[in-house]
Amino acid sequence: MPRDRVRTIDPAAPLAGAHVAVAVGGGIAAYKAAELVRLFVKQGATVQVLMTEAATHFIGPLTFQALTGREVFTSLFDLGQESEIGHIQVADAADLFVIAPATADLIARMAAGMANDVVTASVLATKAPVLVAPSMNVNMWDHPRTVANLASLVASGIRVVEPGEGFLACQWVGKGRLAEPAEILEAAIHVVSPRDLAGARVVVTAGPTFEAVDPVRFLGNRSSGKMGYAIAEAAARRGAVVTLISGPTKLEDPRGLRVVRVETAAEMKVALDHVAADADAVVMAAAIGDFRPIAPAEHKLKRSEMRLPLAIQLDANPDLLAGLGAARKATGKGPVLIGFAAETRDVVDYARAKLRSKGCDLVVANDVTEPGAGFAVDTNHVYLVEETAVTEVPPATKQVVAHRILDRVVDLVRRAAASGA
């Protein structure tokens, strides 16, 4: 009988408790499926592996059984596995069906609606979202039949994780190598995550700003950008169209969203001016420097040539958050505005004052002197300060904190839309 299980999804851990079917096709990249399965298990998913007969020639079922603690399905004619029509049970239990690697042959059989092995039969029987990660020779990938077969799968609602380019096992160079397991995992998370920000335009600023003293020195701060990047990635997972405006960081650009790199506060203002007016929400997580040198030196300042103590005259940078708040107040319309307050004392009091003076809907405040809640760490402990409420988000990873912030952003965006603001 069809299942009646309803799964509650936490946006911060969308795969926790999920039933994920991972089908392994018969290609050299089959060995990468072991790492993918490990990543799904690490995310808290229950994983059921299925393999084509060809796949078993590249990697043994015992590997997957050890990783999942579950018997691997390999045949429609196994008397034990199929005593209760096992492939139908797998198809029905799945919250997500992932095929990696998907060979040209497997893609062709799926596009034709065939069900002549345990993988194709299960895919045809499932109501779960299906995610396909192709892997093959570059000429096979470019062949018109493969192109048409993939187009047919996409038209039926199947998602595709594009293969990468590089040196292939067949000694060719080109597109066709299986996407990395972490990339497939991220695509899977996008598929199962709640889409409560679907279509919303969200702008996130992140990282520090640097203001030149001379060509080799600058005024900056300790922000790593991790909190802002986590918010941008979390918003994209929840369906938002995200623009991330990033100061100088060592972080890689997140996949699937637009990234604008800047260095100074003035550059961040220019980038923000281009997108803020059309946004549904602006999350100002960047640690924008308050001051900049009035006259940066054209050449490197030499210690031997300077009179000490050295005085550097500073001017104020534009207050970007206050500017957004003032524009919204003047026009009566504008994006939901989220500010951040990195404090060292009286955290909630300072955040409440910032909320009112800058015209924010919400201020996210933390004590940067608290261990595990300051700059350049992977965790945070924040307070969500609104006009009539303060919500504590206990210490957690910045990814979890990002989703707790976005839970409030979702509500604020919906309220703004309902009021016509």
Single out the catalytic residue among 9, 124, 170, 297: 170
Query: Taking the chain, what is the end-to-end CA distance rounded to the nearest angstrom?
Result: 48
Distances 406 to 14, 30, 90, 281, 399 between C-alpha atoms, Å: 14, 37, 34, 10, 11
Give the residues across from 219 on adjacent strands: 211
SS3 assignment for 224-272: CCHHHHHHHHHHHHCCCEEEEEECCCCCCCCCCCEEEECCCHHHHHHHH
d(CA 182, CA 173): 22
Q: Where on the phi/psi map is residue 24: left (φ > 0), alpha (ψ -120 to 50), or beta? A: beta
d(CA 255, CA 259): 9
d(CA 344, CA 38): 40
Catalytic annotation present for 360: no
Is residue 34 within 8 A of residue 61, CB to CB? The reply is: no
Q: Which residues are catalytic?
A: 170
